[in-house]
Amino acid sequence: MNTIALTFRLLWLVLDNTFRNPLRTILTALGTVALVLVVTLVYTVLNNLDRITQEKSSNLKLIATEKWQIPSQMPYRYVAGLSQGAAREPGDVKPEDYMSWGFFAGSTDSDASSRDFNSFLFAFVMEPEKILTMMDELDELSPTSQEYKELKAAVDRLQDNKRGIIVGLERLAKLNRKVGDRITLYSRNYKDINLELEIVGTFPAGRYDGSTVFRRDYLNAALDQYKQEKGTSHPLADKSLNLMWLRVPTREAFNQVATQITNSPEFSSPAVKVETASSGIGSFLDGYRDLLWGAKWLLAPACMATLALVISNSISISVRERQTEFAVMKVLGFQPFQILLLVIGEALLIGLTSGFFSATATYLVINEGMGGLPFKIGFLPTFDVPASAIFWGTVMGGGTALLGSILPAWSARTVKVSEVFSRVA
Amino acid sequence: MLMGQLLAISIDNWAIPAWLAFTAWGMGSLLVLLLVVNRVPVMYNILNMVVRWRNTLLSALAFTMVIGLLTVMQSFVNGMYKLTESSGQPGNLMILAEGAVDEAFSSLAMADSSDIANQPGILRVGKTPLVSRETYLLAAQSVPKADGTTKRRFLQLRGLTDPELAGTVHGMKLAAGEWFTEAGIRPDPDNPDAAPLIEIVLGAGIAGEMGRDRAQSGGESQAGFAVGDRFELNDRVWYVTGILERTGSAFDSEIWGKQSIIGPMFGKTSYTTLVAKTADEKTALRLKEFFNKDYGKAQLSAEIESEYYKKLSQTNEQFLVAIIVVACIMAVGGSFGVMNTMYAAVSQRIKDIGVLQLMGFKRRHILVSFVLESLLLAIFGGLLGCAIGLFADGWTANSVVSSGQGGGKSVVLELSVTGATLLSGLMLAMVMGLIGGFLPSISALRLRALEALR
């Protein structure tokens, strides 16, 4: 009973002491909030990169690209065989779904000298129906959701209109256009191919804000027309397939399809390689290896060390000011370890509370207010702050508080009653 | 050693941007003004800092951490800027196919190259125009890892018709070995029946990267690739005949080989780039206008080489913005720590403040004294942070530079701590010190002598 009472007494003292000097508590808490914010942002980026480079075991997307060269440029005729996973023999595995990717960069400005980023447009060229079944995140929209219904309507319009184009909200704003407008797209990579397009819809807000999609058969028709007019094929006519995505149900099916494609003589010139989406992203991120290493092993630890110093400083000031109080507590019967716990408890209360507050506020502001953390590297999407960041932010605040308070707490524990009272006297 | 590091920073790197010079001037003036106005001996503050050495040290270390980290981060961005700014040679004109925003997407008809090269204004050596005909491409290499799996590495290959001429045009020299031969291949002495070895010259940066990967995959050597080393790519064995001198440019990350071998091997039968050397920027500009507007035999997109590489700095700007955001948040966090220290300093010296007032020091003198103390603390911690960050100078790191409109280059860059980096770190420390010290100093100002002594 005594122990429980003493524990409650200590907890009360921790709470009471924390608010004894509200200014110091607030300053320490604000310092913690700021530094936990940085660590939470670093954690968000690293956690999301880990997630997207993590190999899945089911519902895998297989990426087929040109084996040796970047950017991958394959002949469009590869689609027929790749969409079947190069299955030729009985027992060969076929993919559940597929999507072909072409990339078309252009500008709505006819004058090459005045083109700027606002008139720039980078379009995915693909089969319209695949937008709903194969594109990341869009293939996970609930058919009952408003976002899905609006997108489905846009896709239907794209299927009805060969010259249709779906434009992301941000890109639409940059182009200063609206749904229903017609644009002429002057190509940058497909020389002398200019396309007349009609904006038929937009993507749901978020990942595809800057993206656009138009129909593959429209590009194919434009390339055919080029040949009729110029008497020769367009230089990219046989290089218009940039990527191929295949959906396979399991890891085994992935391995089987990969083997079928790799061994198929149909895909030898140029040779094709297959990999999972996560593996492809992993290779892409290798270019940023040192930067990510720095974020993980320099930035985050430095923030935590700074935080520990800020808390340690605050607690040590507090301990020095309260030497007499600790001496009195000892006289009243408090054990040295209880005094140690008291000081650590005060630090932990500040660290845990402000760590939790900082991480939760970051979670809410970024996920709900900003629609994700924009990580503008390559094609990577915006990153949501994971719910686990709230836990780790709290732990981070508490952990650094513990680390920073150990020495001051030890010094409080070892206060000598006789010395303190002789000084007072 | 530290002095050596400092002296190693060349004079060029002490160039200070106007905004920083203005900030430094402002902070310096403020410091001088405070010292002039100050009547309380500075030794009083220093002794107090020594007496409270634990708090002084903890606060200073917080500055050190923040400034040290920012110095390292900024040196990374400096390295990227240095790379994009030093890759173009003065007077060089880069000619791509019309519409191509990146070398990788360009395709120039080989038949046009002679006419382009013979345009007036392009420098010559004897009768040969100084025009490097090049095919630039990115290749994916499968690299074995220690755990038995493989990873993909993107290699930047530049096929050249004449390596020595390309070296002259790009200002690149061999550090070791020799240029690849006219044939671009050589028989494999260990296996005469095998396909010939493809001769290449490696940039210093990529040679180091490949050596690092070789060591990680269980190879015996930790050092970078050297003359005579081999690697596999596209089912062929590639042989290193030379290593280029490190220049801090994008070419440090490239592999140079014979265009007629490398181009067709990766399905590129045309040139992607022609780089022409002219006498000066003015001539290059005139030629640029000519090729873009008046040249009728082919549709071209000409650009001053240094401008082309400067456009690849969009990634640098993104990183810089990220660093500024992180710096601001960390500075705010650090400032709260300093505020704590200074509030404690004030509360512990209430009696001192009373005595100072009785001795005739005005309130403003006490305010100045405390602000000065905070600034001294910040300068001490900031200088220590700068000194630690200085060690990052010369480290190498990989990254990607891009214009943000497709394309981009994987590069190995050298971190660069410049005078501006150190000065901006110190300025940030002083701003943190000023913010952190000002409010507590105001609280000291409000104390009345008799109350303080009670």
Asked whether residue A190 falls in the same domain as residue A96, the answer is yes
Range of the domain at B103: 92-277
In terms of domains, do A13 and A91 share one?
no
B401 → chain A, closest CA residue: A287
Across the interface, of A68, A122, A309, the residue whose CB is closest to B234 is A68
B158 is a domain residue: yes
* Torsion angles phi and psi, residue B161, rounded to 5: -80, -35
Cβ proximity of B429 and B382 under 8 Å = yes
In a domain, B203, yes or no: yes
Provide the residue type at B398 as one letter: N
Is residue A166 within 8 Å of A202, Cβ to Cβ?
Answer: yes
The pLDDT value given to residue A307:
83
Q: Give me chain A's average pLDDT, please.
A: 88
Roughly what angle, to the nearest 10 degrees, separates helices A336-363 and A388-413? 160
Answer yes or no: is B291 within a domain.
no
Chain A residue closest to B328 (CA)? A34
| Spatial distance between the Cα atoms of B48 and A138, rounded to a whole number of angstroms | 64
pLDDT of residue B11: 44
Within this chain, do residues B22 and B161 fall inside the same structural domain, yes or no?
no
Q: Residue A290 and residue B105: Cβ atoms within 8 Å?
A: no
In a domain, B261, yes or no: yes
Q: Please tell me whether residues A207 and A139 are part of one structural domain.
A: yes
Nearest to A31 among B318, B336, B343 (CB): B336
* Chain B, nearest residue to A288 by Cα: B399
> If you measure CA to CA, which chain B residue comes closest to A117?
B405
Mutation pick from B49, B340, B342, B347 vs chain A, by most beta carbons of A within 10 Å, is: B340
Do both A97 and A41 map to the same domain? no
Same domain membership, residue A233 and residue A146: yes
B352-391 residues touching A, CB cutoff 8 A: none
CB contact under 8 A, A112 and B153: no
Who among A299, A309, A316 is closest to B61 (CB)?
A309
- Residues 6 or more apart whose CB falls under 8 angstroms from that of A21 comprise A318
The tokens of A238 are what? 């046989």
What is the per-residue burial (b if ≥16 Cβ within 10 Å, else e) of B242-281? bbbebbbbbbbbbbbbbbbbbbebbebebbbbbbbbbeee
Answer yes or no: do B234 and B341 share one domain. Answer: no
Is residue B74 within 8 angstroms of chain A, CB to CB?
Answer: no
What is the C-alpha separation between A283 and A101, in angstroms, rounded? 19
pLDDT, one tens digit per residue, over A294-303 is 888 888 888 8
Dist. CA A341–CA A14, nearest whole Å: 9
Closest residue in chain B to residue A311, using alpha carbons only: B337
Same domain, B264 and B139: yes
Residue A62 domain-assigned (yes or no): no
Read off the DSSP letter of residue A242: -
Q: Residue A377: inside a domain, yes or no?
A: yes
Rounded Cα–Cα distance for residues A99 and A77 (Å): 14
Q: Are residues B139 and B222 in the same domain?
A: yes
Q: Which residues of B touch A123 (CB under 8 A)?
A: none
Backbone angles phi, psi at B275, to 5 degrees: -115, 115
Interface pTM (ipTM) of the complex? 0.79
Q: What is the largest CA-CA distance in chain A?
A: 107
Query: Is A37 a domain residue?
Result: yes
Claim to verify: residue B55 and residue B169 sit in the same structural domain: no
Q: Is B300 contained in some domain?
A: no
Q: B400 to chain A: which residues are within 8 Å by CB? A: 287-288, 377
Pairing state between β A164-167 and A212-215: antiparallel
- How would you write chain B as a 3-class SS string? CHHHHHHHCCHHHHCCCHHHHHHHHHHHHHHHHHHHHCCCCHHHHHHHHHHCHHHHHHHHHHHHHHHHHHHHHHHHHHHHHHHHHHCCCCCEEEEEECCCCCHHHCCECHHHHHHHHCCCCECEECCEECEEEEEEEEEEEEEECCCCCEEEEEEEEEEECCHHHHHHHHCCCEEEECCCCCCCEECCCCCCCCCCEEEEEECHHHHHHHHHHHHHCCCCCCCCCCCCCEEEECCEEEEEEEEECCCCCHHHHEEEEEHHHHHHHCCCCCECEEEEEECCHHHHHHHHHHHHHHCCCCCEEEEEHHHHHHCCEHHHHHHHHHHHHHHHHHHHHHHHHHHHHHHHHHHHCHHHHHHHHHCCCCHHHHHHHHHHHHHHHHHHHHHHHHHHHHHHCCCEEEEEEECCCCCCEEEEEECCCCHHHHHHHHHHHHHHHHHHHHHHHHHHHCCCHHHHHC
The conformation of residue A89, written as its DSSP 8-state character, comes to S
Return the structure tokens found at B411. 């590069």
In a shared domain, residues A76 and A42: no
Among A73, A243, A68, CA closest to B105: A73
> Residue A230 in contact with residue A239, Cβ under 8 Å?
no
* Single residue among B277, B299, B325 that ends a domain in this structure: B277
* B41 and B121 belong to one structural domain: no
Which of B105, B233, B329 lies nearest to residue A189, judging by beta carbons?
Answer: B105
Decide: A96 and A247 in contact? Cβ < 8 Å.
Answer: yes
Q: Residue A197 carries which side chain, given as an amino acid letter?
A: L
- Residues in chain B with CB shorter than 8 Å from the CB of A69 are 137-140, 266-268
| Residues contacting residue B62 through CB under 8 Å, at least 6 positions apart | A306, A309, A310, A313, B334, B337, B338, B381
Whether residue B264 is found in the same domain as residue B388: no
Interface mutation vs chain A, best among B49, B56, B58, most A CBs within 10 Å: B58
* Domain presence at residue A278: no
- CB-side exposure of A258: number of CA atoms within 13 Å? 15
The domain boundary residue, chosen from A243, A270, A297: A270
Q: Is B75 near chain A, with CB under 8 Å?
A: no
User: Does residue B69 belong to the interface with chain A, where contact is any CB pair within 8 Å?
Assistant: yes
Interface check B59 vs A, CB under 8 A:
yes
> Are residues B141 and B71 located together in one domain of the fold?
no
Stretches where chain A sits below pLDDT 50 are: none
Run means of pLDDT, 10 residues per run, chain B, 454 residues: 53 72 90 88 87 84 89 90 86 87 82 90 91 92 79 89 95 95 92 91 92 74 84 92 92 94 87 94 93 86 89 77 84 83 79 84 87 91 93 87 70 89 92 87 76 68
Respond yes or no on whether the N-terminal peptide bond of residue A249 is cis (omega within 30° of 0).
Answer: no
What one-letter code names the amino acid at A51? R
The H-or-E segment that residue A60 falls in is strand A58-66
- For residue A297, the chain B residue with the least C-alpha distance is B69
Q: Quote the tokens at residue B71.
A: 């110095």
A18: tokens are: 């924390």
Residue B426 is assigned to a structural domain of this protein: yes
Flag whether A59 is in a domain.
Answer: no
- The reply to whether A280 falls in a domain is no
Cα angle A105, A108, A111 (rounded to 5 degrees) comes to 100
Q: Note whether B137 and B246 are same-domain residues.
A: yes
Which residue from A70, A291, A317 is facing B340, i.e. has the nearest CB? Answer: A317
| Residue A323 and residue A229 in one domain | no
- Please, which residues bridge with residue A123 across strands? A104, A212
**Nearest-CA distance A414 → chain B (Å):** 17
Of A23, A282, A290, nearest to B399 by CB-CB distance is A290
Domain match, B42 and B165 both: no
Give the C-alpha separation, A336 to B125, whole Å.
86
Number of domains in chain A: 2
Give the H or E element holding residue A80: helix A78-82
Tally of domains in chain B = 2
Q: Considering A205, A237, A270, which residue would you say is the last residue of a domain?
A: A270
- Please name which of A106, A306, A325 lies closest in space to residue B385, comparing C-alpha atoms: A306
pLDDT of residue B53: 85
A294 to B406: CB separation less than 8 angstroms, yes or no: no
Do residue B240 and residue B125 come from a single domain?
A: yes
C-alpha to C-alpha distance for B255 and B149, rounded to whole angstroms: 25
CB neighbour class for A307 (10 Å; exposed up to 12, middle 13-18, buried from 19):
buried
Q: Are residues A326 and A233 in the same domain?
A: no
Residue A293 and residue A174 share a domain: no
Domain-embedded: residue A262: yes
Is residue B301 a part of any domain in this protein?
Answer: no
Which of B233, B301, B336, B412 is most worth mutating to test chain A (most A CB atoms within 10 A of its CB)?
Answer: B336
Residue A19 lies in a domain: yes
The burial of B447, by beta-carbon neighbours within 10 Å (0-12 exposed, 13-18 middle, 19 or more buried), is given as buried
pLDDT digits (tens, 9 = 90+) for A317-346: 888 888 888 888 888 888 888 889 989 999
Best of A70, A193, A376, A379 to substitute, by most chain B Cβ atoms within 10 angstroms, is: A70
Q: Say how many CB pairs under 8 Å bridge A and B.
A: 173
Both tokens of residue B269?
């039968």
A108 burial level (CB within 10 Å; 0-12, 13-18, 19+): middle
Cβ count near B346 (within 10 Å) = 23
8 Å CB contact of B330 and A120 = no
Burial class (CB in 10 A: 0-12, 13-18, 19+), A402: middle
How far is residue A27 CA from its own chain's centroid?
Answer: 32
DSSP A74: B
Do A115 and A150 reside in the same domain of the chain? yes
Last residue of a domain, one of A223, A241, A270: A270
Contacts of A67 in chain B (CB under 8 A): 140
Judged by CB atoms closer than 8 Å, whether chains meet at B105 and A71 is answered as: yes
Q: For chain B, how many residues are written?
A: 454
Q: Which of B253, B277, B301 is a domain's end point?
A: B277
C-alpha count within 13 angstroms, C-beta hemisphere, residue A179:
14
Which B residues, 140 through 159, put their C-beta within 8 Å of a C-beta on chain A?
140, 151-154
Residue with tokens 């300053």: A27
Is residue B150 in some structural domain? yes
Single residue among B277, B303, B328 that ends a domain in this structure: B277
Give Cβ neighbours of residue B303 (< 8 Å, ≥ 6 apart). Answer: B93, B94, B96, B288
Is residue A218 located within the same domain as residue A358? no
- Where is A234: in which H helix or E strand? none
Which residue shows structure tokens 């269980």? Answer: B218
**Does the CB of B101 have a partner CB in chain A at under 8 Å?**
yes
User: Could you tell me if A315 and A343 are in contact, meaning their C-beta atoms sit under 8 angstroms apart?
Assistant: yes
Tell me the residues of chain B between 410 and 439 that have a Cβ less than 8 Å away from chain A.
Answer: 410
Are A190 and A321 contained in the same domain? no
CA distance A140 to chain B (A): 28
**What does the DSSP 8-state code read for residue A139?**
G
Q: B441 vs B33, B445, B447, CA distance in Å?
A: 17, 6, 10
Q: What is the pLDDT of residue B158?
A: 96
Q: Does residue B198 sit in the same domain as residue B260?
A: yes
What residue numbers bound the domain in which A219 lies? 69-270
State whether residue B269 sits within 8 Å of chain A by CB: no
Other CB atoms within a 10 A radius of the CB of residue A54 amount to 10
